A and B are shown apart, each in its own frame.
Chain A
Amino acid sequence: MNAYLTLIKIDIRLAFRQRIVIFSNYLMPLLFFFVFAQAFRASQGGAILQVVAMVIVIGILGNGLIGAGIRAAQEREANILRRYKVAPISPLPLLVASTVTGLVVYLPCVLGILALATWRYGMAPIPNLASMLIFVVLGVVALRSIGLLVASVVNSTQENAIIVQIIYMAMLFLSGATLPVQIFPNWLLVVTQFIPATWLMTGLQGIMLRHETLLQNWQAAGAMLLTAAVGLLLCVKLFRWEKEEKMRPAAKLWLVAVLLPFVLLGTWQARTKENVAKTRVLSRELARSRTSLIRNARIFVGDGRVIENGAILVKAGKIANVYEGAAPDPKSLNAEPIEAAGKTVLPGLIDMHVYAAAAAQRNLAAYLYSGVTAVESVGDDAAHAREMKTIVNGGQKPGAELFTAGQVLVAHSPAEARHQVDALAQTGVSAIEVLSGFNTATLNAISKQAHADRVPLVIHTITARDVIDALRVHADGIDHGSMQDHITDDNFADMAKLGITYDPSLSAAEAAKGNVNLLNRSLVQQVVLPATLAAARNSIHTDGTANLGIARDNLLRAYRAGVPVITGSDAGIPLVFHGPTVQHEMQLWVEAGIPSQVALRAATLNAAKALNAATRIGSIEPGKEATLLIVDGNPLQDIKATEAISLVMFKGENVDRSDLLQDSRSR
């Protein structure tokens, strides 16, 4: 024990006497820190976390590969190690002392950078600091093991420098420590999964950005621990005290052994692409973490209020503040200004009723492109919907937030119905959707079970009779209402009293008439593939039962009765394309005599409430998600202005619309 302690003590003293140690452990990371902080505009939001992760990884690489590796080889070459050979010790204390020294030298740098980031760039405290520090320690130990092993298998300092540089450069440039991996194509991202530094980088970012724990990064932590252990073991085995002892060239293959955990991880990733996905998510989180100030804007709050000239401060994906009148200087807020003079900011629009293929990622991207930032999808296969939710809501791929109601219920008995409702509720659906036509007993059973499971029950009605049935079982929402019967004012009064939502789906009624003009809308042509449009043009047909006039009348009277109205388009049926659905639905409402602000409120706050998501979305208030649609002009005067999209912001990310549909369009 005394040997270990003395070795460590003197090793540390020696380290601090070396100018190169001070330079590479403190000065260089500090330099990188300030340069990266400038380059990534770290003062404007979460980029500081990326910068911190980058600099820490660069530091670990330098400390591990260059610090441990080069020094070990040099000491052998300079006949320093030889002196230890005549003493009664094994190589282990030397290797352990080297590793401990590396940690002691490097950890102050980590703490310094964290302090600097907090103090100078306003970085929020890291909740999982312990996880992060342990992760850093594992990283240092693993990288030092690799460095020491390189020194163990080379025959000269020259060889050492070559191999270390190859490893160092690959790790530096491919791990995300210097080049942002967002720019990498997918195949290259897969390649990077074989590199330990990539795991260090994504692990650190996950812990800092997404508040993950060490346990959630068990793959990376485990691989590093294994690399450290295997590396140390091999180092003891292959240790050479004298430069005269040469290694066979094949000994360099031991390097593969020490990197084996990462080779396995990489191979595994080539299949699952989990960490590749995480990389995408992290860059999305980063994009969402920017601080920006939308100013000089007309703001439609969502609850009906309008701020004629105001500003919105967006921070860490949330609305941090809403200002009426002049806003503070963006510089003083460390925010990127977004000029919105002459424009109107709305909460992201919500479509409460889309169908089937809605859950395809391209469709969700089309919605996002069009400023429809949340959709409730009906009838999707549960497993597929869940997968899409992970991919899109998780941020791996861009798209509107997906709420799924799951399969439409088909039950033959009350018992079966109860069972099905319960099963659906277990999968986390946003609503139980049923078509009308069940017998009273079954409908009652469905309603009871849905309420017991605290999932809203939405009934798709066709006739006035269906509406009455729905009222009787206390449904939470009525979709379509009726396009063929006039619903009574009494029924609407009941709905108003019970707070039952009404989704008239005028788009569906209109589409049923085969209106070819629907194909000529600019936004539709922007988001729908040309082939799909052509096919639609060739297969226009009309459906006799729907009457747009009756549907409009029902809506107007529902509004007048005070029913909470919401927008649903039925997208997925012919002529109603996934994308700019809500805009057109609102136009139909306004044509029916609904005031613009009522239509807008139905498409935002009302819909959010119906989704039980009003605490997060649906209005522009501090604390809510910064999911916004900025349009040219004033939709309160002309609802068509909602189609003149200037910018879509999704959870704080300034959505790059030009890029959204790129991939699928070229395919």
Chain B
Amino acid sequence: MTQPLAILVTGLTKNYGTFEAVRGLDFEVATGEVFGLLGPNGAGKTTTVEILEGIRQRTAGDVRVLDYDPDKQKNQLKDRIGVCLQATNLPDKIKVIEALQLFGALYSRMLQPDDLLKRLQLEDKREAFYSTLSGGQKQRLAIALGLINDPSLLFLDEPTTGLDPQVRLEIHALLNELRNEKRTILLTTHYIQEAEALCDRVAIVDSGKIIAIGTPRQLQDRSASRSTIEIQCEQTLNGLTIPDWPEATQTNLSEDGHRLTVSSTRPARTLVDIVKWVDAEGVELQDVHLARPTLEDVFIELTGKRLRD
């Protein structure tokens, strides 16, 4: 990588008493990159992010964020980063514009609050009290607060958790815009689609460890063995001997014999073989479906766990 690193983490651990929340993380985030930490609840994502933000002390390991040590140069670091915490609130009776002025005043530099409101489509709510905002508006305000100091690095901890799907899409659009501004973003999520849609690279975290890291595509490819072909036939295939195709790893026939599922390391090749065989047997083909593995499949394959939605 030629660009300087925004984040460099080596051997990071964090213990709460005897409980090891983070158990030796290594990763780096390049400047301008959107990096996702994907994992189930309790995987150690939030702990990791809070250590990077300088609000939690690490137990061991080396951490550099924007070339600062978050434990030792807290305030310099905090001044340069933007943070959108998972669970925060503002006083009920604070106006949107006041919240921006208030938090802006705490930093050495500050964007024009009105510009931010416009960008986050909150200009109508400029004078509204916080308590009157909808969930999506509150989240947009939280992101606006994270941007108030024009940070070079933005942390988003579960930015869409608890929001309804429509609002989630809005936030995704917003984050894509931020991404286009070439801001470095580190986000945590337990939504696979979110990571797929937003992140340049993803680290899958489970039980305090990174179990896979790479672009969403790389992660999927790593699990290519699990691409599956599914055919639907008019007649039953029961009674026929299903051949042993060279690249096929697993074959499954439904009980009624109408649906055949085949996993393959070379799905394109196997597909041709299947179609040929069906044709030769004189069976009428109704439908063919080729499924690449999702990040979720990768996750399940790697962890043996399901991500809760």
Contacts and interface: CB of A to CB of B under 8 A. Distances in A.
Contacts of A6: 101-102, 104-106
A84 B81 CA distance: 13
A183 interface: no
Given A86-B78, A88-B79, A80 B89 contact: yes
Interface in A552-598: none
Nearest to B79: A88
Interface string B91-107: 10110001001111111
Given A6-B105, A87-B106, A88-B78, 12 more contacts: A6-B101, A10-B101, A14-B91, A78-B89, A79-B89, A82-B89, A83-B85, A83-B103, A84-B106, A86-B85, A88-B107, A89-B106
A246 interface: no
B74 interface: yes
The 6 closest A-B pairs by CB, nearest first: A6-B105, A88-B78, A86-B83, A17-B93, A88-B75, A87-B106
A7 B78 CA distance: 18
Nearest to A4: B105
B53 A86 contact: yes
Which of B55, B76, B90, B91 has the most chain A CB atoms inside 10 A of its CB? B91
Interface in A1-51: 2-3, 5-7, 10, 13-14, 17-18
A303 interface: no
Which of A2, A75, A241 has the most chain B CB atoms inside 10 A of its CB? A2
Contacts of B85: 82-83, 86
Nearest to A16: B93
B102 A10 contact: yes
A85 interface: yes
B88 interface: yes
A88 B108 CA distance: 9
Contacts of A78: 89
Contacts of A2: 105
Contacts of B74: 88
29 contacts: A3-B106, A6-B101, A6-B104, A7-B102, A7-B105, A10-B94, A10-B98, A10-B101, A14-B94, A17-B93, A75-B91, A79-B88, A80-B88, A82-B87, A82-B89, A83-B85, A83-B88, A83-B89, A86-B53, A86-B54, A86-B81, A87-B78, A87-B103, A87-B106, A88-B74, A88-B76, A88-B107, A89-B75, A241-B55
B188 to A, nearest CB: 15
Nearest to A5: B105
B111 to A, nearest CB: 15
B98 A83 contact: no
B145 interface: yes
Nearest to A83: B88
Interface of A is mostly: helix
Contacts of A82: 85, 87-89
Contacts of B107: 87-88
B55 A86 contact: yes
Contacts of B81: 86
A655 B101 CA distance: 64
Interface string A303-325: 00000000000000000000000
A78 B89 CA distance: 7
Nearest to A74: B91
B53 to A, nearest CB: 6
Nearest to A82: B88
A17 B130 CA distance: 13
Interface in B232-290: none
Contacts of A89: 75, 106
Contacts of B108: 88
A79 B93 contact: no
A84 B54 CA distance: 13
A5 B94 CA distance: 16
Interface in A61-101: 75, 78-80, 82-89
Contacts of A86: 53-55, 78, 81, 83, 85
Which of A6, A17, A88, A241 has the most chain B CB atoms inside 10 A of its CB? A88
Contacts of B103: 83, 87
A13 B93 CA distance: 9
Nearest to A241: B55
B197 to A, nearest CB: 26
A86 B155 CA distance: 11
Nearest to B75: A88
B74 to A, nearest CB: 7
B93 A18 contact: yes
A85 B55 CA distance: 7
A7 B106 CA distance: 9
Interface string B118-147: 000000000000000000000000000100
Contacts of B83: 86
A5 B104 CA distance: 12
A13 B102 CA distance: 12
A534 B91 CA distance: 79
B258 to A, nearest CB: 54
A83 B55 contact: no
Contacts of B90: 80, 83
A10 B81 CA distance: 23
B92 to A, nearest CB: 9
